[in-house]
Structure 1
Amino acid sequence: MKKTLPLCTLVLLFALSGQAIAGANTAQLKCTGSHAGEALTLVGDVPASIVEVDLKLSYRGQTIRLASPQAETSESTDFRRGIYRVEAVLPGSNRLQLQAKPKSIKYKGSMGGGKLNASFGAVLKDAPEPFGSALKGAELSCTYAYEI
């Protein structure tokens, strides 16, 4: 049976056209901060090209895992233009959305060159339950590392 790429994959390819796609690898995302006096972390693998997501969000002693195929993900990455956003949607309209503060992004390298490291401040625009509205608007310091 012949397999074809889903439309969302083709859209992702065009979205990344400003940066060459050099293999299907993941990037490491690590975000830390505190909210209401409690430690908050978001760490794991995010798509750097066309690969699945595996993130863990931890807060107040609880951890939620957002992983493919249960979590449908999308990512917008263009560090040159100050853009980084990752979203993971779980069943039941439960989702996580992290967005970088555009002017905070600092990066070195390129995906086309096979290695990219970035750091930025970010805001949780949405968080899955049981955190939901408690974490909406929480600020994090993030690093993003990609290497073939």
Structure 2
Amino acid sequence: MRKIFPLCTLVLLSALSGQALAGANTARLNCTGSHAGQALTLMGDVPASIVEVDLKLSYGGQTMRLASPQAETSESTDFRHGVFRLEAALSGSNKLQLQAKPKSIKYKGSMGAGKLNASFGAILKNAPEPFQSALKGAELTCIYAYEV
């Protein structure tokens, strides 16, 4: 015999499943390297299924925070096809653009399964002021971790 759930039960179950995912919509990004003999780091939370960011870029004794809602972000992630791009725009052309080197991406798991870990080499295509001229083209080694 087939049971029919009342509509309110289905709506409630849908709402609860959405809330369960809402708490884990970011991934952790940890990038390190050196440029012109100085340590360079980019660390923090990046979008996974929502567009929010909270990153810290450090270089030459200075640290800059890029966080939502001041930093408008977009991300394209498809590790299976060698794609990871992150952009955080502060205002106008003042933005951070990080792009993975496609052939360097190694990953295990999947977002659909609720757990993904990846490592890759990346290039800062653009960096926000006051780092813009010093860091454009800098290379980093990154670790990306997502878990529901």
Residue in 1 that maps onto 2:113: 113
Residue in 1 that maps onto 2:132: 132
Identity %: 83
Considering only aligned residues, what root-mean-square deviation do their CA atoms show, in Å?
A: 1.1
Post-superposition CA distance 1:27-85 (Å, at most 9, x none):
00000000000000000000111141000000000000000000000000000000000
Written as runs of structure 1 = structure 2, the 5 A alignment for 1:54-93 is 54-93=54-93
Tell me, in whole angstroms, the C-alpha distance in 1 between the residues paired with 2:94 and 2:100: 20
Query: SS state of the match for residue 97, structure 1?
Result: strand
Q: What residue ranges of structure 2 are gaps of 5+ in the alignment?
A: 1-19
Q: Counterpart amino acid of 2:74?
A: S
Post-superposition CA distance 1:4-42 (Å, at most 9, x none):
xxxxxxxxxxxxxxxxxx924110000000000000000
1:133 offset after TM fit, Å?
A: 1.5
Residue in 1 that maps onto 2:29: 29
Q: TM-score, normalised by structure 2?
A: 0.84
Q: Counterpart amino acid of 1:135?
A: L
> Contact conserved, 1:79 with 1:105, CA < 8 A, in 2?
yes
Q: TM-score, normalised by structure 1?
A: 0.84
Residue in 2 that maps onto 1:143: 143
Aligned length: 127
Rg larger in structure: 2
> Contact conserved, 1:28 with 1:144, CA < 8 A, in 2?
yes
Tell me, in whole angstroms, the C-alpha distance in 1 between the residues paired with 2:133 and 2:140: 16
Residue in 2 that maps onto 1:45: 45
Tell me, in whole angstroms, the C-alpha distance in 2 between the residues paired with 1:41 and 1:142: 9
Tell me, in whole angstroms, the C-alpha distance in 2 between the residues paired with 1:132 and 1:50: 27
